[in-house]
Chains A and B, each alone.
Chain A
Amino acid sequence: MELFKAARIDGAGLWQIFFLLMIPMSIPILVVASILQVTGIWNDFLFGVVFAGRENFPMTVQLNNIVNSTQGEKLYNVNMAATILTALVPLIVYFGSGRWFVRGITAGAVKG
C-alpha cells in the first residue's frame, strides 16, 4: 500500500502505477499463471475428446488410444515412447521456467 502512496507522491498516475510498478512486480506470478494454463490445456482429456474431432485429438487422447488398445500384441516400447513424448512438453515448460515458477509460487510467503 505504501508503495502506491510513494508512487503517487512521485507523481505517477493510475496507469503509470499499473504499467511501471504493478506489472513488473507481477512477472513471477504471471509466469506461474501461464505455466498452469499451458499444462492444463495440454493435459486436458475430456474437452479434447468431445470437441476436437478425429483429426485434432490432443496428445492425451492419442496416448490413451495407443496404450489402452485391446486388440493385437502389446508393444511396450511404443507405449513407453508415446508416454515420454506426451510428458515432454510439460517437462520442458517446468524445467525451462523453474526459477520463475518457484519465485511466483513462493511470492507472498516471503517478507519483502
Chain B
Amino acid sequence: MANVSIRELAIDFGSVSVLKSLNLEVKSGEFIVLLGPSGCGKSTLLNAIAGLTDITDGQIWIGDKNVTWEEPKDRGIGMVFQSYALYPTMTVEGNLSFGLRIAGMAKEEIAERVNRAVQILQIDPLRKRRPGELSGGQRQRVAIGRALVRDVDVFLFDEPLSNLDAKLRTELRVELKRLHSGLGSTMIYVTHDQIEALTLADRIAVMSGGVIQQFASPKEIYRRPVNRFVAGFVGSPSMNFLSGQVTSNGGVPAFTLPDGRKIDLNGYEFSGTPGDGRKATLGVRPEQMQFQPASDRASSLPATFTIVEPMGSDNLIWGQVGKETMSVRIDADEDVALNSEQPVYFQPALASLFGEDGQRL
C-alpha cells in the first residue's frame, strides 16, 4: 500500500502539450478512476506513473519516494493492459512468474506466490495453458495475476475491460471490486466507460484536454458536476441542457426560457450570488424528471414528447422544450401522451446551473 502523489506534471510530445501542470493526490488504498474521452491524456498520465513515458516537467511520488526518474520495475507498480499483453510463448505459470524469474527470486518463493495468485483469481486449472488457449476473461485474469505476484503497492489498469463482451465486463467489474477490497492496494484505473467509473471508484478524476476537470466521489460528480463538460460527459443518456437566463422572481431565483417562461429554482444551492439577468444553462438529468411532482418543491418544464425508446426496465422518451432536445427516463409501465405539451417536474435542488463560461453557478 502506498499513496501516489503527482505534482505539477507536464508532458509534451514535440510541440503538443498533452498534460499541463497536473496535480493529483491518491490516498493509500484508494480506488481512483481516470475518466475522459479519447485523447484527453488519461492513458498518458497512467504511463507516466508507470514510468513508460518520459515526462517533461514535474514530479511523481509513490509512497515516500520520488520515483520521477526510476525504472518501471523499481516503482512498486503493476500494470494491466487493454490488450492483456501476455507473453504468447509462455504458459500461464510462465507469464505469472516471468518478472520474478528475471528478478532472480528463489524457486520455492516463486511457486508460492504463483500458487497464491492462481487461487485468488481462480485460474488454477489453466496453469499449463498458453494465452492463445484462453478466453478473453481468463487472459485478463492472468494479466491481473502478473501484477499480483509481484506484490506491488499500486495497481495500474489501462482500460482492462474494454476488449471483453458486455456480460463478462460486468462480471469482471464486480471481481475487480472484490479484489480491491480484499487486497486493499491503491488502484488507478483508466477508462472511458462511465459505468465502470461510477461503480468502481472511490473517487473519479474526470479529465479533458489534459486537465483534471473534477476530482471527487462518484456521487458528487453525478450530483454536482463543477462544469458543463463533466455534466455532459457523466450520465447516460446525458444531461438535458436548456439555455436561458437567471432571473429573480420576487426574491426567489428563477430560470427564464428564451420564450419568456419562468421556471422556479427554489431550493437550488448557488455557489455565489445568482446575478439577475445573466445568461446560463440549466441542466437536468433524464432520470430526475417525472410526470407527477415528487414533492411540493418541484418545478416544471413545458415539454412536447415525440419518441419512446423502450429499454426493458424503463422507457426513454425524447421530445422538445422550446427548440432544445430533452430526454426523460420513466418507468416502463407509465403511459405518455405524445405530441402534446405537458409539464415535466424536477427538483431544483438536484438540477445544475452553468454560467456562460461553463462553470457551475
> Taking beta carbons and an 8 Å cutoff, which residues of A are in contact with B?
2-3, 5-12, 16, 20-21, 24-25, 112
Given the known inter-chain contacts A25-B88, A112-B88, please indicate yes or no for A5 contacting B79, CB distance below 8 A. yes
Partner of B85, one of A6, A12, A25: A6
Q: Binary interface profile of B, 70-103, with partner A (CB < 8 Å = 1, else 0)?
A: 0111000111011101111100000000110011
Min CB distance A29 to B, Å, is: 13
Task: Chain B residues near A25: list those with CB within 8 A.
Answer: 88-89
Closest partner residue, chain B, to A112 (CB atom): B88
B307 at the interface (CB under 8 A from A): no
Size category, B interface: 20 to 34
Closest partner residue, chain B, to A24 (CB atom): B89
**Do residues B83 and A10 form an inter-chain contact, with CB atoms below 8 A?**
no
Given the known inter-chain contacts A2-B82, A2-B83, A16-B102, please indicate yes or no for A9 contacting B77, CB distance below 8 A. yes
Partner of A9, one of B73, B86, B87, B88: B73
Q: Give the residues from 262 to 301 in chain B that come closer than 8 angstroms, CB to CB, to chain A.
A: none
**Do residues B103 and A6 form an inter-chain contact, with CB atoms below 8 A?**
no
Task: Chain A residues near B89: list those with CB within 8 A.
Answer: 21, 24-25
- Please measure, in the bound complex, the distance between the C-alpha atom of A7 and the C-alpha atom of B98, giving whole angstroms: 8
Task: Chain B residues near A16: list those with CB within 8 A.
Answer: 102
B360 at the interface (CB under 8 A from A): no
Q: Binary interface profile of B, 195-233, with partner A (CB < 8 Å = 1, else 0)?
A: 000000000000000000000000000000000000000
Partner of A6, one of B71, B79, B102: B79
Task: Chain B residues near A12: list those with CB within 8 A.
Answer: 98-99, 102
- Please measure, in the bound complex, the distance between the C-alpha atom of A30 and the C-alpha atom of B77, giving whole angstroms: 35
- Please measure, in the bound complex, the distance between the C-alpha atom of A7 and the C-alpha atom of B81, giving whole angstroms: 12
Min CB distance A8 to B, Å, is: 5
Q: List 7 A-B contacts (CB under 8 A).
A: A2-B83, A2-B85, A3-B87, A8-B72, A9-B72, A12-B98, A12-B99
Closest partner residue, chain B, to A5 (CB atom): B52
**Do residues A5 and B81 form an inter-chain contact, with CB atoms below 8 A?**
yes
**Do residues A9 and B79 form an inter-chain contact, with CB atoms below 8 A?**
yes
Taking A2-B82, A9-B50, A25-B88 as known contacts, 14 extra A-B pairs with beta carbons closer than 8 A to each other, sorted by chain A number, are: A5-B52, A5-B79, A6-B79, A6-B146, A8-B72, A8-B73, A9-B73, A9-B77, A9-B78, A11-B72, A12-B98, A20-B102, A21-B89, A25-B89
**Do residues B81 and A6 form an inter-chain contact, with CB atoms below 8 A?**
yes
Closest partner residue, chain B, to A16 (CB atom): B102
Min CB distance A82 to B, Å, is: 43
Min CB distance B97 to A, Å, is: 10
Given the known inter-chain contacts A10-B73, A11-B73, please indicate yes or no for A5 contacting B85, CB distance below 8 A. yes
Min CB distance B82 to A, Å, is: 7
Q: Which 5 A-B pairs have the closest CB atoms?
A: A10-B99, A11-B73, A24-B89, A6-B85, A2-B85
Task: Chain A residues near B88: list those with CB within 8 A.
Answer: 25, 112
- Please measure, in the bound complex, the distance between the C-alpha atom of A5 and the C-alpha atom of B78, giving whole angstroms: 11
- Please measure, in the bound complex, the distance between the C-alpha atom of A8 and the C-alpha atom of B77, giving whole angstroms: 11
Task: Chain A residues near B103: list those with CB within 8 A.
Answer: 11
Task: Chain A residues near B73: list those with CB within 8 A.
Answer: 8-11
Min CB distance A48 to B, Å, is: 38
Task: Chain A residues near B83: list those with CB within 8 A.
Answer: 2, 112
Task: Chain B residues near A11: list those with CB within 8 A.
Answer: 71-73, 99, 102-103
**Do residues B52 and A21 form an inter-chain contact, with CB atoms below 8 A?**
no
- Please measure, in the bound complex, the distance between the C-alpha atom of A12 and the C-alpha atom of B189, giving whole angstroms: 24
- Please measure, in the bound complex, the distance between the C-alpha atom of A40 and the C-alpha atom of B86, giving whole angstroms: 36
Task: Chain B residues near A20: list those with CB within 8 A.
Answer: 98, 102
Min CB distance B340 to A, Å, is: 52
- Please measure, in the bound complex, the distance between the C-alpha atom of A6 and the C-alpha atom of B73, giving whole angstroms: 10
- Please measure, in the bound complex, the distance between the C-alpha atom of A25 and the C-alpha atom of B86, giving whole angstroms: 12
Closest partner residue, chain A, to B90 (CB atom): A24
Task: Chain A residues near B86: list those with CB within 8 A.
Answer: 3, 6
